[in-house]
Chain A
Amino acid sequence: MMNSASDNTTRRYWPLGQLIACRMREFAREPEAWIWTYGFPIIVTVALGVAFRNQPATQIVVDIVDNPQASATQEALTLKPDSLQHFKAEIFSQEQTQLRLRTGKTDVVVTAAESNSASPHYEYRFDPTRPQSVLARNAVDDRLQRAAGRRDPAQVDSVAVDEPGGRYIDFLVPGLLGVNLLGGGLWGVGFVTVEMRLRKLLKRFLATPMKKWQFLIAVMSSRFVFSVAQALILLVFARYVFGVPNRGSVIALGFLILIGSIMFFGIGLLLASRVKTQDAIFGLMNLVQIPMWVLSGIFFSSDRFPDAIQPFIKLLPLTPLINSLRAVMLEGASLVSQATAIGIMAAWAIICFAVALRIFRWQ
């Protein structure tokens, strides 16, 4: 005889709580998830931060063409180094200097020609399209002119200002923060949902009294917890290892992370709403992500792109998120000042959710 222990006073069950708990367990038990979500952003930060660290602008590579005047020139450049300019001056043959200039191994090539007068005669070879080369030419000229006896009439004081906020790493971290939220929404909500649909698990759930909103909230809120953890780890790491500041309020930062997450959950859900194969969802996600990876100003400023496509760039979902994160973190901007960006993100969120919920296929 079946013993029915069916009174629900013995133990209460919370479907939403169970759904969230199961979703979090599934994520936590996937080792790849940990590596991609937590390891990868840190590795990228370190790699790019080190590779693009600010070299002191004073380190200038100068090649001197080999001729009788070469060593005198070298001495003029390297004797009495001052704190503002430090030259690495070496002597090479003419062919070598040409090759080195062409391949960017040297910033400027100096040929000290034979001079008939008392003053020396120098020829500079440099690349006008490279800022470092132009800088090098000017710095070398300054030094050689002074070595030859130039007197500067104006009195000059130089004050070095070196505060974090203007370095590449400061530019990069908000970009990575944004891109993490993008990945979290697309993969953590979109792909996960498609995968469950393919396994017919959504269909199985539909036959139970489970409410559809409970499932969706569970997927999104569990993902949000992981995204917040990811953001915290990245920000704390960047602050203590690289000194990346947050000049804005923590609440403002938290709000941007929240609205960015919601927006990307909506986009992920929309992309996943009718997909029936794994290949299709991979294709769709890449199609959507790649323009943003390139255009939204993660690794370099989106201003570099032509004016004609700037309006398009500004409306991509990732762009306002990254811009407002940068404004808050590096300039201490208030949320009010970012109203336009927040508005664009909210619009994306509302539209995507509205459409997705209408067309979502549960089986």
Chain B
Amino acid sequence: MLAIHCQQLFKRYDSKPPVDAVRGLDLTVEQGECFGLLGPNGAGKTTTIEILEGLLDATSGDVEILGYRWGRHDDEIRQRIGISLQETRLSEKLSIRETLTLFRSFYRRGIEPNEVMTRVSLEEKANSWVRDLSGGQKQRLAVACALVGEPDLLFLDEPTTGLDPQSRRQLWDIIRGFRQAGRTVLLTTHYMDEAERLCDRVAIVDQGRVIALGTPRELISSLGGQHVIEFTVGGNGQSPSIPTENLLDLPAVSAVRTEDNRICLSVDEPHIALPALLERLTAMHRDLTGLTTRHASLEDVFVKLAGRHLSEADQNTST
């Protein structure tokens, strides 16, 4: 049985003018996998996940969660899923233990609050008020509230947005632990490193549709190379651009793309491509003004497919 099966999902918001947040989205998530929806803000990720969580009605489309349907088996689904929303502010003046006990009480079966606190490394703060927790601790508590009902399927909407690197890693460990027990996770994110490191499969979403689907490795391979050589030319009054055809025939280069004045080559073997590039540039009498090499990422996949970055601010994130 599939964890999630979603076909031709459409969602239109009746604002003026109407907004089509989701435009024909198909999704299949197997049990036991960690599945990521990767895309920029406004891609329709949150709308999609909220429809799957039963918080929003789809305009049209078919949704099945663990074999059940919303509208017919609402309680069965809610007993088996756990969610973490973007920006929920839990009650400030309740303690962690009180909050977890409250959420635990909603489920027929689940884990003891003390135990789930240990899983998210909050046991030392059991009696602290939510108000006194750091951002990372609050987020761990939110995930703990999702775990306390011992769900089969976990939905996480942007779980690490706004957190410092250490908190992000802590949360990733918690998510990995959950998945290792054979449970399923669906998360949305606009961080490509999160998608690459956590997810078994990733759907790249843009403007309400899935534009690419596969394991992170498969997606990156579709670029034609595991590496990227990025360089700039110019100086001395020379033009900063080079026609693509002048570079495509270089050995080990599978794709060329230009962005502003930066030229990016997708290459499989940089030790072959790089010397060839330098030789070519010398032959063309062009001067290098900058050069970097790096691993190809899902960000590059997104840029290739959508023509822009996942998030302008995150362009140069490297963790």
Enumerate chain A interface residues (CB-CB to B < 8 A): 1-8, 10-11, 13-15, 17-19, 21-22, 25-26, 29-30, 199-201, 203-210, 363
- A199 and B181 CA atoms in complex are apart in Å by 32
Instruction: A2-B181, A203-B85, A209-B106 given; name 11 further pairs at CB < 8 Å.
Output: A13-B104, A21-B98, A22-B99, A22-B102, A25-B98, A200-B85, A200-B89, A201-B91, A208-B107, A208-B149, A209-B79
Q: How far is the CB of A278 from chain B (nearest CB, A)?
A: 13
List B contacts of A25 (CB < 8 A). 93-94, 98
Cβ-based interface call for B166 (8 A): no
Cβ-based interface call for B87 (8 A): yes
Given contacts A8-B109, A29-B93, contact A209 B78 (CB under 8 A): yes
Option from B53, B94, B106, B108 in Cβ contact (under 8 Å) with A8:
B108
List A contacts of B178 (CB < 8 A). 2
Option from B91, B93, B106 in Cβ contact (under 8 Å) with A208:
B106
Cβ-based interface call for B283 (8 A): no
> Can you list 12 residue pairs at the A/B interface with Cβ under 8 Å?
A6-B110, A13-B107, A15-B106, A22-B91, A25-B98, A26-B91, A200-B87, A201-B89, A203-B55, A204-B145, A209-B75, A209-B149
Please give me the residue from chain B that is nearest to A199 by CB atom.
B89
Option from A11, A19, A205, A210 in Cβ contact (under 8 Å) with B112:
A11
CB distance A207 to B104 under 8 Å?
A: no
Given contacts A6-B150, A30-B93, A200-B89, contact A207 B75 (CB under 8 A): no
Option from A5, A10, A15 in Cβ contact (under 8 Å) with B105:
A15
CB distance A22 to B94 under 8 Å?
A: yes
Interface on chain B toward A: helix, strand, loop, or mixed SS?
loop
CB distance A207 to B81 under 8 Å?
A: yes
CB distance A208 to B98 under 8 Å?
A: no
Please give me the residue from chain B that is nearest to A7 by CB atom.
B109
Interface on chain A toward B: helix, strand, loop, or mixed SS?
loop
Q: What number of A-B contacts does a CB cutoff of 8 Å give?
A: 89
Cβ-based interface call for B111 (8 A): yes
Please give me the residue from chain B that is nearest to A200 by CB atom.
B88
- A10 and B94 CA atoms in complex are apart in Å by 24
List A contacts of B105 (CB < 8 A). 13-15, 17-19
Q: How far is the CB of B19 from chain A (nearest CB, A)?
A: 17
List A contacts of B167 (CB < 8 A). none
CB distance A207 to B107 under 8 Å?
A: no
- The B100-145 residues at the A interface (CB cut-off 8 A) are 101-112, 115, 145
- A210 and B99 CA atoms in complex are apart in Å by 14
CB 8 Å contact bits of B25-50 with A (1 = contact, 0 = none) = 00000000000000000000000000
Cβ-based interface call for B24 (8 A): no
Please give me the residue from chain A that is nearest to B129 by CB atom.
A29
Cβ-based interface call for B272 (8 A): no
Given contacts A2-B181, A26-B94, contact A199 B88 (CB under 8 A): yes
List B contacts of A8 (CB < 8 A). 108-109
CB distance B112 to A5 under 8 Å?
A: yes
Please give me the residue from chain B that is nearest to A28 by CB atom.
B93
